[in-house]
């Protein structure tokens, strides 16, 4: 048995012994945690050199992978350039295309060399990781021991609180009251004794809270607790009436705190699992119970009702009165109320609400028709009442997909008829910086550009990495309405996964077929408006707009196509999924710094799904 395995066994045995230990005091458990934490810190430091070495290899591997991705992008660009030159040879057989062929060959060799280097570096890294993994196992076992002790600590804290709170104490209290003129002496005596007991109970309860070892924690939640005081014994030591009609009473009382174990968990803010298995007798017989309660509320009790729904721009009626749209917060009298939430195109929701406390209702409205209508605009409301992307409904239908006009590249052929049997919603614009920022703020997501080697930019005909570039700083001025860029396909899918969960709807990236069908909008020309790019119809390189070869344009800066979509030509390449591509990732539509011929509706470029650049973004699709 090697050193690491021996250490793992020792840790496992220590863990089992700690878990089996019982009835330890808080101080005992805290001491054990301190000892184990010290062991953990010392052992953890011994890992640093080996982990640092593995991390160094991983960084080197990451750089090689980035280089491979970049080399693949260069290879793709060289391939496109070579294919374009081949097309020109048809019209000009004398054209010398050997430079582009040589450039493509160099790009292929470079890509292969980087791939071979990746294999060697990967094997080194994996060997180092195996050693680190074995040590990590031992480290995790020790950490598990510490966490097990923390579980014991919480149980010990509850035991201590229960014992400290449910203590008994003898109290002597004196109280003086003025008898009412219409009150009999007997009633005045009874009232005086009752008030004396309440005074003693309040004083005792205050002293119990002050004497707790965790008094600060308990005091934070005191108002939410149902803890009470039990009067075990009471007797009048002395009483008399003064000449002014005042009654004086002195009482001896035996009091005990009354805290159930489950309420102890609430007082310390701990999970109820530390309290559910307590077997002590919490229902002992007592003489009298006086519960110290807050000031009585007014008979006319008002509660706050909060209403939310899954749609936007609805209307809420309560007892027949319109209170506006959700999210709604309104104060209502206690009792029964009729609630109705309505919106055109949805089935109304009606229910009776009984208010005996403040409450929040989430109303789910169902669509009155379950198929999309062509051109219909839809928008889902995300968790937190955040509006989702504006979507346009694209009708079901068939179309010819690919290089219909015969001026495209080989990867756009052959032309095939695609049959889309179901309508779908697609975002009318590319996902904006603002929409992506909402996602990042909600999830704390970090993009690949931020974690790795930045974002690529196109310079001198080549994609080059810029370490300091990401979706927040792509290398040109942008605002919240510009399309988000410097996002990989992995980043785009993370956004899709989040919005699906936040809306409870099925979102995804568009397939190539859906994207081209929506972008064509029923046309068979190279662009939705015709076969020529003309000027100022879209933001692409040398396309005549103020943003051409400068930066992305704010979304919706140009005309919609016939389906109502913006920017299906130029601005940014858009991620799509493809079964034809080896990496399943293809960008479509051209970009602000790419030639018009590459912004045709059928142009496609296969890229690695981890590639990201300041000319690639995405839009989303939603199923019915």
All residue ranges of the chain with pLDDT < 50 are 1-21, 278-300, 370
What pLDDT was estimated at residue 408? 86
| pTM for the whole structure | 0.49
Domains and CATH numbers, the chain: 3-161 (1.10.287), 166-290 (no CATH), 302-363 (2.60.40.1120), 377-622 (3.90.1580.10)
Residues 177 and 191 sit within 8 Å (Cβ to Cβ): yes
pLDDT at 437: 97
8 Å CB contact between 137 and 11: no
CA distance 338 to 406: 65
For 346-390, the three-class secondary structure string (H helix, E strand, C coil) is ECCEEEEEEECCCEEEEECCCECCCCCCCCCEECCEECCCEECCC
Whose CA is closest to 509, among 567, 584, 456? 584
- The rounded distance, in Å, linking the Cα atoms of 574 and 594 is 13
The rounded distance, in Å, linking the Cα atoms of 316 and 323 is 6
For residue 243, what pLDDT is reported? 67
> In the prediction, which pLDDT does 566 show?
96
Q: Around Cβ 293, how many Cβ atoms within 10 Å? A: 8
- The predicted pLDDT at position 12 comes to 39
Phi-psi sector, 19: left (phi>0), alpha (psi -120 to 50), beta? alpha
**Which residues touch 618 (CB under 8 Å, ≥6 apart)?**
430, 431, 484, 487, 489, 492, 495, 509, 574, 575
What per-residue confidence (pLDDT) applies to 137?
Answer: 58
Q: In this structure, how many other beta carbons lie within 10 angstroms of the beta carbon of residue 6?
A: 11
pLDDT, tens digit (0-9, with 9 covering 90-100), for 158-201: 899 989 988 899 989 898 888 877 778 888 888 788 777 767 87
Half-sphere CA count of 498, side-chain side, radius 13 A: 21
Query: Could you say which DSSP state residue 511 is in?
Result: B
């Amino acid at each position: 048995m090697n050193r690491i395995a021996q250490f793992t066994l020792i840790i496992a045995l220590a863990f089992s012994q700690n878990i089996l230990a019982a009835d330890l005091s808080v101080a005992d458990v805290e001491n054990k945690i301190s000892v184990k934490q010290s062991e953990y810190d010392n052992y953890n430091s011994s890992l640093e050199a080996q982990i640092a070495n593995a991390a160094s290899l991983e960084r080197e591997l990451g750089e090689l992978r980035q280089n491979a991705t970049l080399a693949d992008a260069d290879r793709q660009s060289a391939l496109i350039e070579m294919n374009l030159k081949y097309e020109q040879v048809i019209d000009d057989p004398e054209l010398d295309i050997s430079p582009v062929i040589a450039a493509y060959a160099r790009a292929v060799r470079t890509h292969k060399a980087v791939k071979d280097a990746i294999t060697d570096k990967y094997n080194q890294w994996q060997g180092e990781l195996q050693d680190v993994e074995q040590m990590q196992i031992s480290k995790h076992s020790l950490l598990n021991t510490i966490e097990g002790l923390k579980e014991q600590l919480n149980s010990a804290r509850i035991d201590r609180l229960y014992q400290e709170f449910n203590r008994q104490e003898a109290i002597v209290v004196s109280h003086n009251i003025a008898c009412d003129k219409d009150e009999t002496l007997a009633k005045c005596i009874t009232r005086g004794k009752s008030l004396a007991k309440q005074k003693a109970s309040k004083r005792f309860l205050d002293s119990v809270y002050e004497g707790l070892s965790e008094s600060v924690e308990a005091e934070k939640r005191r108002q939410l607790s149902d803890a009470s005081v039990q009067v075990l014994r009471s007797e009048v030591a002395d009483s008399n009436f003064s000449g002014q009609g005042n009654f004086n009473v002195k009482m001896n009382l035996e009091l005990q705190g009354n805290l159930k174990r489950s309420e102890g968990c609430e007082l310390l803010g701990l999970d109820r699992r530390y309290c559910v298995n307590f077997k002590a007798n919490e229902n002992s017989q007592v003489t009298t119970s006086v519960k110290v309660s807050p000031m009585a509320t007014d008979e006319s009790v008002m509660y706050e009702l909060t209403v939310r729904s899954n749609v936007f721009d609805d209307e809420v009626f309560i007892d027949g009165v319109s209170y506006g749209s959700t999210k709604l917060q309104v104060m209502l009298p206690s009792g029964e109320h009729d609630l109705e939430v309505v919106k055109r195109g949805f089935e109304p929701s009606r229910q009776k609400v009984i208010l005996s406390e403040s409450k929040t209702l989430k109303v789910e409205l169902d669509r009155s028709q379950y198929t999309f209508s062509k051109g219909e605009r839809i928008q889902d409301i995300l968790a937190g009442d955040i509006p989702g992307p504006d979507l346009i409904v694209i009708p079901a239908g068939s179309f010819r997909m690919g290089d219909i006009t015969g001026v495209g590249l080989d990867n756009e052929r052959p032309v095939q008829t695609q049959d889309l049997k179901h309508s779908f919603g697609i975002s009318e614009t590319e996902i904006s910086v603002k929409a992506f920022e909402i996602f990042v703020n909600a999830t704390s997501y970090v993009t690949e550009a931020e974690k790795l080697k930045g974002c690529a930019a196109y310079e001198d005909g080549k994609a080059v990495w810029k370490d300091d570039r990401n979706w927040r700083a792509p290398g040109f001025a942008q605002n919240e309405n510009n399309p988000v860029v410097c996002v990989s396909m992995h980043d785009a899918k993370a956004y899709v996964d989040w919005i699906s969960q936040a809306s409870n709807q099925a979102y995804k990236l568009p397939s190539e077929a859906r994207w081209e069908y929506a972008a064509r909008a029923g046309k068979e020309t190279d662009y939705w408006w015709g076969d020529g790019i003309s000027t100022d119809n879209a933001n692409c390189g040398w396309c005549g707009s103020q943003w051409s070869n400068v930066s992305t344009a704010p979304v919706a800066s140009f005309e919609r196509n016939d389906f109502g979509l913006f920017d299906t030509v130029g601005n940014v390449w858009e991620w799509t999924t493809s079964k034809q591509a080896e990496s399943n990732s293809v960008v479509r539509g051209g970009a602000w710094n790419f030639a018009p011929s590459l912004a045709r509706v059928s142009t496609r470029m296969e890229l690695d799904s981890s590639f990201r650049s300041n000319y690639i973004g995405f839009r989303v699709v939603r199923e019915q």
